[in-house]
Amino acid sequence: MTAPATQYRERLVFEGTMRYILLVTAIGIGIIGWSGAITALFDESISGTEQLVAFVGFGVVVGTLIALWLARISITVKVSAGQLTLQLPPLPKTRIQLSTLTSAHKVGVNAFGDYGGWGIKGSRKDRLYGLSGDSGVRIEYDHPDGEQRAATVLTRNPDGLINALGMR
């Protein structure tokens, strides 16, 4: 038996200036951190202060790795097999059955003002999925626990997502 065809798929990423700021910052901080940590490792006359510098350097290295990870992070939006799937690895997938949808419409979003930033933000009843942009699709649905819930997905193709959800 073959798997059902995917009706819609989009990979949401940090775009434009934000992506470059994260990468340049990560590279700059990384160079400083690596040089301090490596110097401290190979210098035999290390004092307590220098050990602290090495420790901070190691922290900068870890911070750099996190910044690089953030620059490459993505949210996958997929409509297939009667469900909408939203995933930001390594977090678990959010699956919404298309049969539970009550509405889907285009919205303008101020991610920082409305939700406190990009990523997966908000509450259990009203959640944002997005890494850049200010427009998307607000999807309202009936959760299996009986609550009415909403998911707002920032997307470059709101009409395509709405069509794939069957809400046109």
Instruction: For residues 27-54, give the mean pLDDT.
Output: 67
SS3 state of residue 65:
helix
- Cβ(165)–Cβ(139) under 8 Å? yes
- Cβ(16)–Cβ(94) under 8 Å? no
Average pLDDT taken over every residue of the chain: 83
Higher pLDDT among residues 34 and 11, named by residue:
11
Instruction: For residues 116-143, give the mean pLDDT.
Output: 92
Residue 44 banded pLDDT, cuts 50, 70, 90:
low
**Helix or strand (DSSP H, E) at 102:** strand 101-108
Higher pLDDT among residues 11 and 39, named by residue:
11
* The pairing of beta strand 148-154 with beta strand 135-142: antiparallel
Residue 1 banded pLDDT, cuts 50, 70, 90:
very low
Q: What is the pLDDT of residue 40?
A: 62
- Cβ(15)–Cβ(155) under 8 Å? no
Instruction: For residues 22-42, give the mean pLDDT.
Output: 69
Residue 150 banded pLDDT, cuts 50, 70, 90:
very high
SS3 state of residue 142:
strand
Q: What is the pLDDT of residue 129?
A: 95
Residue 41 banded pLDDT, cuts 50, 70, 90:
low
Instruction: For residues 85-92, give the mean pLDDT.
Output: 90
Helices and strands (H and E) in the chain: how many: 3, 9
| Amino acid residing at 83 | Q
Q: Where are the domains of the chain?
A: 14-72, 75-165
- The pLDDT > 70 percentage for the chain reads 77
pLDDT digits (tens, 9 = 90+) for 52-67: 666 677 777 777 777 7
User: Phi/psi of residue 138, each to 5°?
Assistant: -95, 120
Topology at the third CATH level for domain 75-165? PH-domain like (2.30.29)
